[in-house]
């Protein structure tokens, strides 16, 4: 099944997993988990397509076809984690002396990785507020190679104009990487907007059930794909066949899940915006969001992630978080169950307090991954926890 044959919802179920994909007499409806680490060849000089599972594995191959199809790209690559995908991009493309411009509001682990590249491998990283494209233009140096974006960003849900930034980047012969974890390809397709490399933490919405760690890269350029595929194999940062199977399975309900995540999130963001104990709500689907119009233009939805500042500080935030009964206090996001966390003390604790302050991550900030439970139960839980502080 080619990527253009059917609509997105159909492709989440079928691409890579049609019975005809399976060779010979095999006709399973669900792609098997191929555990073999190595593959026999008939002739010494003719290795065949599958040789060794680090280089390629049939279950991973099925999944990589689907990744490419869902992001409307020619190629997809699977990784052992989102950070493994990110490290592979840096390993492949950023050399000593090269410069990378990143959004100032990125996942804490991505910033930690950037710092490692600066300290150990001589790269230079500048973090700027990419919600204003002119800040990107101002930060460009002769040695700038990459622009690294998230939209919406983690944890402040800032939105940047991917198309405008890609135009700036391409004028200066630079590449644009977009981490599309928060919206998933169901709501946003960065490659259609001009991004050269799309990255995912598959761990989140794509796998969708908080039971897989995985990453992906999707892209159109053949030379770049071959370079990244070479690095995927030479670094050995590949997902296990079992995890690939879990993601193929999870993806089948991506459209259904994303719709419910979003409708719940919109109701809860509105509830929070009107709550007397809440100082500020960050959700791209609220008209009060500073980049609401850009989000509306470049994506077909706003997703299921909300951040908000509780009135008070760290003490009130911690009391509130520890009073919740239905929301689970845990890092990560994008699963069917609602998760809640304190970025300053949890997901973004790997960056310094100074950096958090510069990025606008306050001690009163709480980040919520809205699940697919009944929103009445979720709001009742938030209400009882607000009552405790």
Ligand X SMILES: Cc1ncc(COP(=O)(O)O)c(C=O)c1O
Active-site residue numbers? 54, 107, 179, 204
- Is residue 280 helix, strand or coil? strand
Q: Which stretch binds ligand X (CB under 6 A): 104-112, 138-146, 251-259, 274-282?
A: 104-112
By CB under 6 A, residue 285 contacts ligand X: no
Of 16 and 82, the one with the shorter C-beta distance to ligand X is: 82
Candidate list 55, 59, 201, 369; residue touching ligand X; CB under 6 A: 201
By CB under 6 A, residue 301 contacts ligand X: no
Polymer length in residues for the chain = 389
Site for ligand X in 160-199 (CB under 6 A): 179, 181
Closest by CA position to 238, among listed 387, 59, 48, 1:
59
Candidate list 17, 71, 150, 161; residue touching ligand X; CB under 6 A: 150
- The single-letter DSSP state of residue 112 is H
Phi first, then psi: give them for residue 236, nearest 5 degrees: 75, 30
The size of the interface with ligand X (CB under 6 A), counted in residues, is: 14
Q: Which stretch binds ligand X (CB under 6 A): 6-14, 102-110, 237-245, 365-373?
A: 102-110
Closest by CA position to 232, among listed 57, 96, 83, 77:
77
H helices then E strands: how many in the chain? 14, 12
By CB under 6 A, residue 81 contacts ligand X: yes
Provide the minimum distance between the beta carbon of 80 and ligand X in the complex, in angstroms, as a whole number: 8
Of 123 and 177, the one with the shorter C-beta distance to ligand X is: 177
By CB under 6 A, residue 98 contacts ligand X: no
DSSP string, 32-96: -----SB---SBTTB--S--BTTT--HHHHHHHHHHHHHTT-SEEEEESSHHHHHHHHHHHH--T
By CB under 6 A, residue 203 contacts ligand X: yes
Closest residue by beta carbon to ligand X: 82
Candidate list 83, 231, 299, 317; residue touching ligand X; CB under 6 A: 83
* Residue recorded with tokens 């609602």: 338
Site for ligand X in 213-242 (CB under 6 A): 213, 215
Contact status, residue 342 vs residue 356, Cβ threshold 8 Å: no
How far apart (Å, rounded) are the C-alpha atoms in residues 227 and 143?
A: 20
Interface with ligand X (CB under 6 A) = 81-83, 107, 109-110, 150, 154, 179, 181, 201, 203, 213, 215
């Amino acid at each position: 099944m080619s990527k253009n044959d059917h609509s997105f919802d159909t492709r989440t179920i079928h691409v890579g997993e049609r019975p005809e994909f399976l060779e010979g007499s095999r006709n399973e409806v669900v792609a098997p988990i191929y555990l073999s680490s190595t593959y026999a060849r008939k002739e010494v000089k003719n290795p065949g397509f599958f040789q060794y599972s680090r280089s390629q594995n049939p279950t991973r191959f099925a999944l990589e076809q689907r990744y490419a199809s869902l992001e409307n790209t020619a190629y997809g690559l699977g990784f052992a984690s989102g950070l493994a995908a990110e490290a592979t991009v840096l390993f492949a493309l950023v050399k000593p002396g090269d410069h990378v411009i990143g959004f100032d509001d990125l996942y804490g682990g991505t910033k930690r990785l950037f710092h490692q590249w600066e300290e150990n491998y001589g790269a230079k990283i500048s973090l700027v507020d990419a919600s204003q494209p002119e800040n990107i233009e101002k930060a460009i140096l002769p040695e700038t190679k990459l622009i690294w974006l998230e939209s919406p960003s983690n944890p402040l849900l800032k939105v940047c104009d991917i198309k405008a930034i890609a135009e700036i980047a391409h004028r200066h012969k630079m590449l644009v990487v977009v981490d599309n974890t928060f919206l998933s390809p169901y709501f946003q397709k960065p490659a259609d907007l001009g991004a050269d490399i799309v990255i995912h933490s598959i761990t989140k919405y794509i796998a969708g059930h908080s039971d897989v760690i995985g990453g992906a890269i999707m892209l159109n350029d053949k030379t770049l794909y071959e370079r990244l595929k070479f690095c995927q194999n030479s670094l050995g940062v590949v997902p296990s066949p079992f995890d690939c199977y879990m993601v193929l399975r999870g993806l089948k309900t991506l459209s259904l899940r994303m719709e419910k995540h979003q409708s719940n999130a919109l109701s809860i963001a509105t509830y929070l915006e009107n709550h007397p104990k809440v100082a500020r709500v960050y959700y791209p689907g609220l008209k009060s969001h500073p980049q609401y119009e850009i989000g509306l233009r470049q994506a077909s939805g706003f997703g299921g992630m909300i951040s908000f500042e509780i009135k008070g500080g760290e003490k009130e935030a911690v009391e509130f978080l520890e009073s919740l009964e239905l929301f689970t206090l845990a890092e990560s996001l994008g699963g069917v169950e609602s998760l809640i966390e304190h970025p300053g003390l949890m997901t973004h604790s790997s960056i310094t307090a100074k950096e958090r302050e510069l990025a606008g991550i306050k001690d009163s900030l709480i980040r919520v991954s809205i699940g697919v439970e009944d929103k009445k139960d979720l709001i009742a839980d938030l209400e009882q926890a607000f009552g405790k502080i």
